[in-house]
A and B are shown apart, each in its own frame.
Chain A
Amino acid sequence: MTGPARPCRRWVTLVTAALVATGCGGQGEPGGPTRLVVFAAASLTEAFEALASDFEAAHPGVVVDLHLAGTPTLVFQLREGARAGSVAADVVATADDASMRDLVEAGMVLRPVVFARNRLAIAVPPGNPAGVGGVADLGRPGLRVALADPAVPAGRYTEEVLARAGVEVHRPSREPSVKAVATRIELGEADAGVVYVTDVRAARGRLEAVAIPGAGVVARYPIAVTAGTEQRQAAEAFVAFVRSASGQEVLAGAGFLASAGEPVPG
């Protein structure tokens, strides 16, 4: 870290102290390791934890600080940081094109590319005790359903799937991130929910997937270096690593679908 200590705490704390605390890890001590702050969508949690440690192993002297949250939270924190004249992150990966497009239009990121794709699935506890067979069953009265809030990409994708099937869910709990949906079902508080295929895989047997036929590929994950980063080299190396064969292998292992690396349509 070469620049002065980042003042990103100064303003952002007023609004989202708890949320942003982990995102401000950019204050490396002189001569200490380079700290690379990576903002990533919640659904990327397990894949990016693995990618970060692989990257650190390959780049001694670089420490990756992961900040994982729902995509809109990431965007909000980047914007608030920018308003205060600071950069909260060096790399950003969102769970949809639209959020990334907003960041491009605001001049906050450079040339995003899509590095992975994902599909939705219905998650149920092991053995599927409620006997959920498909999307139509989510509208069953008495079934406790957790869904991602429409504010986050997974929630919007879920709304599309439900609307297409003409299903109205009875009093769902709207969770602030797709990971919170998975947790609800793992804890047994919800009977079913809609998550990404990768979330079921990450739960390692604590969840079971019920396929959603015809839902197709919905989520596209773009990644970009922030315009104001003070460590462009390390940030670009991280993005390149995510897109490399070994990075894509980690993502495929987590259940993500490969992407040709197309740019985000403007």
Chain B
Amino acid sequence: MRSPRSALALGLALPGAALLGLPLVALVWKAPWSRAVELLAEPGALTALRLSLVSSMVAAALTVVLGLPLAWVQARVAYRGSGLVRALITLPIVLPPVSGGVALLLAFGRRGLVGQWLDRGLGLGLPFTPAGVVLAQTFVALPFLVLTTEAGLRALDTRLEHAARTLGASRAEVFRRVTLPLLAPSLAAGAALSWARALGEFGATITFAGNVAGRTQTLPLAVFLALQGDPESAVVLSLVLVAVSVAVLVGLRRHWAPGLVR
């Protein structure tokens, strides 16, 4: 039997759940199911889906490569200015993604601080390329990986690492055989969250990478443009995004990321 207290808790939790759930229900309810197959079969939709999947996976992998060292330093090294770096790490979560895209343009655009050298020196123009999409997605997704992993590192029992050291293991060995396995759930949860964020990325992508069919038009961009001409198609494409992310996140939950939903 539920106690009255848990009934109260359920009642208080309901509005929050409804806020998250109702738009989803509306999307499913109002979806033009009779046209769904036809709308999905349009070549643009599948191209955008494929680009979205590939770019978000690459971006998630990049957040691990770039984010793990950052999380390590934040959790384990005491240095001046770590508070500033912490703010920097949180910034992309707070910043409107469109502003993030503008900032990326000013840094990595063809006339950007770094971008002009990349463009002129290496002929490596990022805007309008799939690499630009990955960069925009990595920028907005990195905080999720860093913050989750950093929390995992802080919660980790350092006595186990000390014990391994006293038993003669090198630092690298300790990291590989003790720290990393203990950290794996947090790391996987962070990677899953950053992947999901990358998959849904819109503002920074359209601002920085543009909207080139087959190269930078990800599914969220296709949804936005469909809204201008064919709103029904926008609904169907949105549902695809929801389905893909739910499927992957639920699939990951059991095997790789128990830390995501305990």
Cα A149 to Cα B225 with chains together (Å): 8
Sort chain B's interface into a size bin. 20 to 34
A73 touches B227 (CB 8 A): yes
A173/B227 in contact, CB under 8 A = no
In the complex the two chains form, what is the Cα distance from A35 to B213 in whole Å?
40
Residues of B within 8 A of A188 (CB): 109-111
Q: Are A187 and B225 in contact (CB under 8 A)?
A: no
**Are the CB atoms of A171 and B228 closer together than 8 Å?**
no
Name the residue of chain A whose CB is nearest to the CB of B116: A188
Q: Which one, A15, A73, A171, contacts B128 given CB within 8 A?
A: A171
- B211→A176 contact, CB < 8 A: yes
At the interface, yes or no: B231 with Cβ under 8 Å from chain A?
Answer: yes
Residues in A neighbouring B110, C-beta threshold 8 A: 188-189
Q: Which of B23, B105, B212, B216 has the most CB of A within 10 A?
A: B212
- Cβ contact of A187, chosen from B109, B212, B216, B224, cutoff 8 A: B109
The distance in angstroms between the C-alpha atoms of A146 and B211, with both chains bound, is 9
Q: A171-B128, A174-B212, A189-B128 are in contact. Are A152 and B111 (CB under 8 A)?
A: no
Chain A contacts for B152, CB-based, 8 A: none
Whether A173 pairs with B216 at a CB distance below 8 angstroms is yes
Q: State which residues 1-49 of A face B: CB under 8 Å.
A: 14-16
> Which among A184, A187, A188, A189 has the greatest number of chain B C-beta atoms within 10 A?
A189
Kindly state the separation between the CA atoms of A150 and B128 in the bound complex, as whole angstroms. Answer: 18
Query: Does B168 lie at the interface of the complex (its beta carbon under 8 Å from any beta carbon of A)?
Result: no
The reply to whether A189 and B105 form a contact with Cβ atoms under 8 Å apart is yes
Contacting pair B229 A72 (CB below 8 A) = yes
Question: Which A residues touch B111, using CB under 8 A?
Answer: 187-188
Q: Taking the complex as formed, is B86 at the interface, i.e. its CB lies under 8 A from any CB of chain A?
A: no
Q: Which of B105, B127, B224 is in CB contact (< 8 Å) with A176?
A: B224
B228 and A184 contact, CB distance less than 8 A = no
Contacts of A172 in B (CB 8 A): 212
Cα(A149)–Cα(B229), bound, Å: 10
The residues in B between 103 and 122 inclusive whose CB is less than 8 angstroms from any CB of A are: 105, 109-111
Assembly CA distance A100 to B26 (angstroms): 29
The answer to whether A72 and B228 have CB atoms under 8 Å apart is yes
Chain B residues with CB below 8 A from A174, complex form = 211-213, 217, 225
Instruction: Determine which residue in B206, B215, B229 has the highest number of CB atoms from chain A within 10 A of its CB, and name it.
Output: B229
Min Cβ gap A193→B in Å is 11
Query: Given A14-B26, A151-B225, A187-B109, A173–B212 Cβ distance below 8 Å?
Result: yes
Query: How far apart are B225's CB and chain A's nearest CB, in angstroms?
Result: 6
User: How many angstroms between the C-alpha atoms of A70 and B212 in the bound complex?
Assistant: 18
User: A151 and B228 in contact (CB under 8 A), knowing A187-B105, A189-B109?
Assistant: yes
Which residues of chain A are within 8 angstroms of B228 by Cβ–Cβ distance? 70, 72-73, 76, 149, 151-152, 176
B residues near A67, Cβ cutoff 8 Å: none
- Whether A144 is near chain B, meaning CB under 8 Å from some CB there, is yes
Q: Which residues of B contact A15 (CB under 8 A)?
A: 227, 231
Q: Would you call B224 and A151 a contact (CB within 8 A)?
A: no
Q: Is the CB of B109 within 8 A of A76?
A: no
Distance in angstroms from B34 CB to nearest chain A CB is: 19
Q: Chain B 211-236 against A: per-residue CB contact (8 Å), 1 yes, 0 no? A: 11111110000001101110100000
Query: Is B210 at the interface (CB under 8 A from chain A)?
Result: yes
A37 CB → nearest B CB, Å: 20
Task: Decide: B128 and A173 in contact? CB cutoff 8 A.
Answer: yes
Which 7 residue pairs spanning A and B have beta carbons closest together? Answer: A173-B210, A151-B228, A151-B229, A72-B228, A188-B111, A189-B127, A174-B211
Interface, chain B (partner A; CB < 8 A):
23, 26, 105, 109-111, 125, 127-128, 206, 210-217, 224-225, 227-229, 231
Could you jot down 16 A-B contacts, CB within 8 Å?
A: A70-B228, A72-B228, A72-B229, A149-B211, A149-B225, A151-B228, A171-B128, A171-B212, A173-B211, A173-B212, A174-B213, A175-B210, A176-B225, A187-B105, A187-B109, A188-B110
